[in-house]
Structure 1
């Protein structure tokens, strides 16, 4: 809390006055209290505290971003998708929190590597930021020559959200549970097909890791995007899908949910088990986070993380995340770095065993 120190006034004989209650008692009357007048100084003090806090936050923002130019938020995907929508919502709210102009720039290509490389090569002054995703972890494993090193070239600022990939099947299939899916796939090798949004993305890893751990043979079918993959499962061209965008179709009854890829159940599908309940150790969660170039000053990272945490508490952002089954995180820079390091350590073991690359 920001509090302005009170002014000290010396006490003199002329300033010593008896309390009104004492004077009233001497005259034989009950003391009178004017609550309206008593409250005015307190209300004024609260207003002054609010103004002082707002001024302090504005001063912090000006200190971190002193130049008269906008902040660029690079979204390494095409416009119109989940990442783009989240990036634009974040930019709008972040501009209000920081009192800065923020421009969203879509820089798709090479599995998000082109946009990521641009941020990695930018000056670490807080004017160029990245909306990072799980793809920033996976690119290390699916490209022979990645265009950046996540741990060396970028600064973790704050994880925004965690989103599961929902495993769902065509409702016409005789499959209602995860155990039934595994039994059916084992009894009918290579007859089921798994639709996903492309090699190197988290739905692809979710599908391949499931096949490996469940010891089943399912045909992997990549699509240009998650919506196309979902449409083919609804239409019966493909059998099942791993996709974060599947939640709305599940709610509409067009897909039957079988499991979620996070370590625990999703609060938006409480009756649908985590795949880890059937296959212990399974987890492929998608995340979105804010990152900057390497050597970004800690005071800038801390100010941005503080703003992100404030934004994620807003009802507007909570409502938008609920539409895609996202759970707000809002972590400190150190906690986000710890998560990225843990992800890399896990996939260092899990992904090479899949024997797949995108090159």
Structure 2
């Protein structure tokens, strides 16, 4: 065989190998435990992706250290398209909360596409004298630090949403950390706290006993009809829960293109859209380039907030 013929054969073999992706099951890593909201997103989207790609997408839960264990595992994986990760807002928060991570959050991932986004809710007990966000702000300004609020643990998305609101509305409340949304909701009803910041699913079980004041996204949402946005009172305020799909740095453009196309189709699936709605989320499709911009912007935003507030997770 001539050198030319051999080169053509190798090129053809390489093209065939690329075209064959995926040839085996794909791992979808999430930094949260099974049964939670992020796990639900991963399983719904993963199952639908598997049908589109013709290979199973198997969810692997690697919780711990603010999703950094899962992120490190993904960053160190071979960039062959067989290890992906469901990114969340927590992945944009954790790099500023932890020292000496074994990966570089801004450069060690290939962004494929956004998956979903959704608001957090601000609520009070139905027996509360606070009937609007304006009431809450006025009370917090009048008696700085007197109002206790729950928003999960330190450095969680609800906690940071509360910190941003306090800074932008020039008010002060006291954070009482809780392990999760259901525990926080119970504290709200029990009177240990006066305000809760949480996701729609976390606040839903006690909805009949709570009053919603606002959603944290810039506009009202059909997910929670009739509830005003914070931005209607505090101009420019916008905090959302965001989910995206990523792989290790160095994913081939062919794999990214195939994945992005399949993901876009999955997000049009009525079953997937309905499931996301039950989790308080709406489908959110963006191109790989726009997804990278969103992720990098979130990294920078939360790094600034965390620095301003002096938060650390590993001290």
TM-score (norm 2): 0.89
CA contact (8 A) 1:163 1:325 kept: yes
Query: Quick check: 1:63 aligned with 2:33?
Result: no
1:62 to partner: Cα distance: 7.4
If asked which structure has higher relative contact order (CA below 8 Å, sep 6+), I would say 2
Query: Quick check: 1:339 aligned with 2:285?
Result: no
State the alpha-carbon separation in 2 of the partners of residues 262 and 61 from structure 1. Answer: 44
- For the residue of structure 1 that corresponds to 2:65, the secondary structure is coil
State the alpha-carbon separation in 2 of the partners of residues 186 and 265 from structure 1. Answer: 25
1:349 to partner: Cα distance: 3.5
In structure 2, the partner of 1:134 is 89
CA contact (8 A) 2:212 2:227 kept: yes
- For the residue of structure 1 that corresponds to 2:95, the secondary structure is helix
Moved more, 272-281 or 90-99: 272-281
State the alpha-carbon separation in 2 of the partners of residues 274 and 326 from structure 1. Answer: 16
Moved more, 178-187 or 261-270: 261-270
* Change in 2 beyond 3 A, CA 1:187/1:250: farther
Deviations 1:254-285 (CA, angstroms, capped at 9, x unpaired): 22111111121122224222212222222221
In structure 2, the partner of 1:169 is 124
- For the residue of structure 1 that corresponds to 2:245, the secondary structure is strand
Query: Quick check: 1:226 aligned with 2:204?
Result: no
* Change in 2 beyond 3 A, CA 1:60/1:161: farther
Query: Which of 88, 96, 109 does residue 43 from structure 2 map onto?
Result: 88
Q: What aligned pairs does 1:126-275 form with structure 2 within 5 A after superposition?
A: 126-246=81-201, 249=204, 252-275=207-230
CA contact (8 A) 2:185 2:206 kept: no
* Change in 2 beyond 3 A, CA 1:253/1:64: farther
Matched positions, count: 300
- For the residue of structure 2 that corresponds to 1:94, the secondary structure is helix
CA contact (8 A) 2:150 2:178 kept: yes
TM-score (norm 1): 0.79
CA contact (8 A) 1:171 1:255 kept: yes
Give the gaps of 5 or more residues in structure 1: 1-58
State the alpha-carbon separation in 2 of the partners of residues 157 and 199 from structure 1. Answer: 29
State the alpha-carbon separation in 1 of the partners of residues 129 and 84 from structure 2. Answer: 47
State the alpha-carbon separation in 2 of the partners of residues 157 and 113 from structure 1. Answer: 19
Moved more, 250-259 or 316-325: 250-259
CA contact (8 A) 1:65 1:127 kept: no
CA contact (8 A) 1:261 1:274 kept: yes
The runs of 4+ residues in structure 1 deviating greater than 6 Å are 59-62
In structure 2, the partner of 1:349 is 304
Query: Which of 103, 113, 116 does residue 71 from structure 2 map onto?
Result: 116
- For the residue of structure 1 that corresponds to 2:27, the secondary structure is strand
CA contact (8 A) 2:118 2:282 kept: yes
- For the residue of structure 2 that corresponds to 1:289, the secondary structure is strand
State the alpha-carbon separation in 1 of the partners of residues 224 and 273 from structure 2. Answer: 16
CA contact (8 A) 1:250 1:257 kept: no
Q: CA RMSD in A?
A: 2.1
1:194 to partner: Cα distance: 1.3
1:305 to partner: Cα distance: 1.1
CA contact (8 A) 2:98 2:313 kept: yes
CA contact (8 A) 2:113 2:288 kept: yes
- For the residue of structure 1 that corresponds to 2:208, the secondary structure is coil
1:231 to partner: Cα distance: 2.1
Bigger Rg, which one: 1
1:249 to partner: Cα distance: 2.2
